[in-house]
Structure 1
Amino acid sequence: MYNILKLNKIAAIGTDRLGANYNCVDECDAPEGILVRSAAMHDMELPESLLAVARAGAGVNNIPLDKCAEKGICVFNTPGANANAVKELVLCGMLLASRKVAQGIAWNKTLADDAGCLKTVEKGKSQFVGPEIMGKTLGVVGMGAIGILVANAALALGMKVIGYDPFLSEAGKAKLEGGVIIVDTLEDIYADSDYITLHLPLNDGTRGMINNETIGKMKDGVRILNFARDGLVKSEDIIAALGSGKMAAYVTDFATQDLLTVDGVVAIPHLGASTPESEDNCAVMAADEIKDYLENGNIKNSVNFPNIAKDKTADKRVTVFGKGIEDAVKAIAADAAVATRGDYTYAIIDGADAEAFKAIDGVIRVREL
């Protein structure tokens, strides 16, 4: 029996896939697995029993990846499972950035006691005038699952679309419609885009990337959409650009306190993946990943372990994880399936004795399945 701790509500369509050999609970002192969405894990004590964490979503900033790797805990995410939900909200965000719909609705509510509100509306509606998106240029920064869908959808709406991603794979390129142009630098995005949408992770290289310097390289009246991570922008620089007119609008899915009352900001309460379809997709993928790892040792969509899978060829299976152990593992088992990620190596060996691998220098965890 595997104990699975749920740190957030996880759709039953996912947890039901685990089967009778799993005990999914909201409290547990010694879980073998954790299912999580947004709950913060950085200050959490990770029990020795813990083998895997599956994040029902793409971003993993709430999980201590290095700490997990050091303890031999495999962390998964669910890339693409919520991509369509986020794409739809990004398209909504572009319209909200242009047409001042949210501001107009809020103003209408102030007219509840105005008997002649229809006439008042006709006189006052000009303050909410905004441009159409057709024919404008959208710059997509980050061409992962979400960025690709956004680019293709914007193209279908009659926009010109340019994208930037130095890590765009050939498989990703194949999913893009022919009219999407991939540019070589972020400066190309900044210089040519009427709208810029961010779809990239938050790390040391991207933190605060939208700031006074980069905004200065953009078109006057640029509209920026951030449905990725709040830390990608410097809020004080966004506020200054909106105040000067350099930026026409900032639409974000992260309602930080300093932006809530700023003119030109549309702050959405983190609704990007908040659809029943998205929550179901993420729960199913997370459950399948953690089940295959716990039962078979296979790894798909890990963010801190190498990805690897192997069909079973014997009743007994051993998995080995550690630093700098590849040669030692192969010396014991020449037929081992081995994969590396950075300093770490993970191996799957069928029909082997687990004890032989525990003595290898650098081994962090050995499992016998």
Structure 2
Amino acid sequence: MYKIQTLNKISTKGLSKLPLDNYEIASEFSKPDGIILRSFKMHDMDLPESLKAVARAGAGTNNIPIDKCSEKGIVVFNTPGANANAVKELVLTGLLLSSRKIAQGITWAQTLNGQGDEVPALIEKGKSNYVGPELMGKKLGVIGLGAIGVMVANAAYALGMEVVGYDPFISVNAAWGLQKEVQQARDLDSLISEVDYISVNVPLNDNTKGMINLEKINKMKDGVRIVNFARGGLVNNKDIIAGLKSGKVAAYVTDFPDEELIATENVIAIPHLGASTPEAEENCAVMAATQLKDFLETGNIKNSVNFPECELPITGKSRILIANKNVPNMVGQITTILAEANINIDDLLNKHRGELAYNIIELSTDVTDSVIDKLKSIAGITMVRVIKFS
């Protein structure tokens, strides 16, 4: 029986993927095997020795102590693409809001409450203050062509926009899904210098933090409109505010407002609604629970943010799962211990991601506790687990 702790309210459709005959689910456990969460901040949590995996029902994992999990051999999953359509729809909304001054117009219209029969005439008189351009025929630059970026690019093209994308790490699957009419920028500077609108769709990391800054803004066209539904730290607040005040940037739509942005004219602050749809929450929960179940029951890893993708068909009686530091002679030490115990390896998969490595070893025999103890004693090994299938 696996114990799964939920740190946020998780869709029942997702939790239904964990059958009650093999899973116990609760918001509090002293020794959980797995954790499913959304936005709960785990950084101050003590990670129990029993914990094998953390599944984030969403794409961002800034609320999870990735390094601490990696040190303990805990696999961290996210759900890329599960909320892509929800975010795509809000990006399109953001493009329209940045152009047509819809939000400002609605706010102004509310101020006419109490004017009685004069309201229609006042509306006609004041509407010229909220004129804005159409999207059709304008050029959109999409920075980042992952699941969301591709959907944004395709949808914007369908709206009649000219679309150019930039992503030096675009996957084969993403490239296949992209409309052939979407142009490819040779580099970021060439993209931002020629477009009327910019949509930022990249993850936040050390390489992307503050990527939209004063230097980049100065290279953009006058009156550029920028929408950011990825992460707040991608755009330097001080620099975007300076761009707005100078008129270089006509509008900034962000899903990650703070006090200084809210106080700035021509910032449209949306309260982090990118994935706030019942469909997205269900999709993320289903994907998170499915990935967690597969890992706990088979050891296979898909969509981990700290370990490599690993999948090996079940052919034997049991399998050993080993996480270790990616250093020389680890596989040699592991196989030597198994050979000394007269254990034959039916199949073995070894993959690494940066400083971490992961092994799935398929066996047709059982493994004794003494062999497991010897494997755990190898310097650099952070996790050893055995799964029996029969």
TM-score normalised by L of structure 2: 0.92
Distance 2:82 2:166 in 1: 22
Aligned to 1:47: 48
> Does the Cα contact within 8 Å between 1:330 and 1:336 map onto a contact in 2?
no
User: SS in structure 1 opposite 2:307?
Assistant: coil
- CA drift of 1:330 comes to 4.6
User: SS in structure 1 opposite 2:17?
Assistant: helix
Distance 1:188 1:106 in 2: 37
Q: Determine if the alignment matches structure 1 residue 14 to structure 2 residue 26.
A: no
Q: What letter matches 1:241 in structure 2?
A: G
Aligned to 1:29: 30
- CA drift of 1:243 comes to 1.1
Superposed CA deviations along residues 133-157 of structure 1, whole A, max 9, x for unmatched, are 1010100001000000000000011
Matches within 5 A, 1:35-114: 35-114=36-115
Report how many aligned residue pairs link the two structures. Answer: 369
Distance 2:354 2:265 in 1: 45
Aligned to 1:342: 354
- CA drift of 1:70 comes to 0.5
Q: Which moved more, 1:340-349 or 1:219-228?
A: 340-349
Aligned to 1:259: 261
Q: What letter matches 1:92 in structure 2?
A: T
- CA drift of 1:88 comes to 0.4
- CA drift of 1:261 comes to 2.7
> Does the Cα contact within 8 Å between 1:14 and 1:287 map onto a contact in 2?
yes
Aligned to 2:181: 179
Aligned to 1:285: 287
Distance 1:340 1:93 in 2: 39
Superposed CA deviations along residues 184-222 of structure 1, whole A, max 9, x for unmatched, are 211011101100000111111111111111100100000
Distance 1:172 1:59 in 2: 19
Distance 1:62 1:113 in 2: 46
> Does the Cα contact within 8 Å between 2:244 and 2:266 map onto a contact in 1?
yes
Superposed CA deviations along residues 5-48 of structure 1, whole A, max 9, x for unmatched, are 11111100011110112111111221111101111112211111
User: SS in structure 2 opposite 1:45?
Assistant: coil
Superposed CA deviations along residues 152-190 of structure 1, whole A, max 9, x for unmatched, are 000011101011111012221111101101112110111
> Does the Cα contact within 8 Å between 1:96 and 1:102 map onto a contact in 2?
yes
Aligned to 2:381: 363
Distance 1:9 1:345 in 2: 32
> Does the Cα contact within 8 Å between 1:99 and 1:129 map onto a contact in 2?
yes
Distance 1:109 1:178 in 2: 44
Distance 1:68 1:134 in 2: 47
Aligned to 1:141: 143
Distance 1:358 1:117 in 2: 76
> Does the Cα contact within 8 Å between 1:326 and 1:345 map onto a contact in 2?
no
TM-score normalised by L of structure 1: 0.97
Gaps of 5+ in 1: none
> Does the Cα contact within 8 Å between 1:208 and 1:233 map onto a contact in 2?
yes
> Does the Cα contact within 8 Å between 2:143 and 2:201 map onto a contact in 1?
yes
Distance 1:171 1:213 in 2: 33
Distance 2:6 2:173 in 1: 34
> Does the Cα contact within 8 Å between 1:30 and 1:47 map onto a contact in 2?
yes
Q: Which moved more, 1:90-99 or 1:2-11?
A: 2-11
Q: Looking at CA atoms only, which structure, 1 or 2, has the larger radius of gyration?
A: 2
Compared CA separation, residues 32 and 209, structure 1 to 2 (3 A): same
Aligned to 2:4: 4
Compared CA separation, residues 138 and 330, structure 1 to 2 (3 A): farther
Distance 1:266 1:120 in 2: 24
- CA drift of 1:307 comes to 0.9
Q: Which moved more, 1:169-178 or 1:72-81?
A: 169-178
Q: What letter matches 1:9 in structure 2?
A: K
> Does the Cα contact within 8 Å between 2:228 and 2:255 map onto a contact in 1?
yes
Q: What letter matches 2:331 in structure 1?
A: E
> Does the Cα contact within 8 Å between 2:316 and 2:346 map onto a contact in 1?
no
Distance 2:332 2:93 in 1: 52
- CA drift of 1:294 comes to 0.7
Runs (4+) of structure 1 exceeding 6 A deviation are none
Q: What letter matches 1:228 in structure 2?
A: A
Distance 1:329 1:174 in 2: 40
Distance 1:140 1:175 in 2: 15
Q: What letter matches 2:349 in structure 1?
A: A
User: SS in structure 1 opposite 2:284?
Assistant: helix
Distance 1:327 1:205 in 2: 35
Aligned to 2:342: none
Distance 1:330 1:107 in 2: 72
